[in-house]
């Protein structure tokens, strides 16, 4: 595979600050929100919005620069900022604590609000390019 080493490097360079920012934001919001999973929810929604915006803006980038930028920013940074595994573990914790309503609310709101945020970001990027 041509470029797989440089692709991995781009993803890694983007992932480190994304994970660091997620850690800071979730820890900063933990005392404010009633449960830590709502901090994860907020970070994931922000990442969805920003990913939609970036993907929309990348459409205007020349093809030869698009893939490296997508790997660095979309896959690396925003993939690391958002966290599916933490989201799933937090859902599991709610289910184990016998709080299925909270788990369902968290799951559904994460999917619906995440999709809406991604669409809003994409739409904003599309409007700014028009």
Sign of torsion over alpha carbons 31, 33, 38, 44: negative
SS3 29: helix
Tokens 């989201």 correspond to 87
- Give the side-chain half-sphere CA count within 13 A for 77: 16
d(CA 117, CA 41): 12
26-84 pLDDT, tens per residue? 888 878 877 778 888 889 999 999 999 999 999 888 888 888 999 999 999 999 999 88
Q: Tell me the pTM.
A: 0.85
């Amino acid at each position: 595979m041509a470029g797989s080493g440089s692709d991995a490097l781009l993803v890694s360079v983007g992932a480190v600050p994304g994970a660091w920012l997620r850690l800071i934001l979730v820890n900063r919001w933990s005392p404010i929100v009633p449960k830590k999973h709502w901090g994860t929810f907020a970070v994931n929604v922000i990442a969805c919005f920003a990913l939609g915006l970036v993907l929309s803006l990348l459409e205007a980038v020349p093809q030869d620069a698009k893939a490296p930028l997508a790997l660095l920013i979309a896959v690396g940074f925003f993939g690391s900022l958002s966290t599916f595994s933490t989201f799933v573990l937090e859902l599991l914790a709610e289910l184990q604590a016998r709080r299925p309503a909270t788990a369902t609310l968290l799951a559904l709101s994460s999917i619906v609000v995440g999709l809406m945020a991604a669409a809003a970001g994409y739409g904003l990027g599309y409007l700014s390019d028009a």
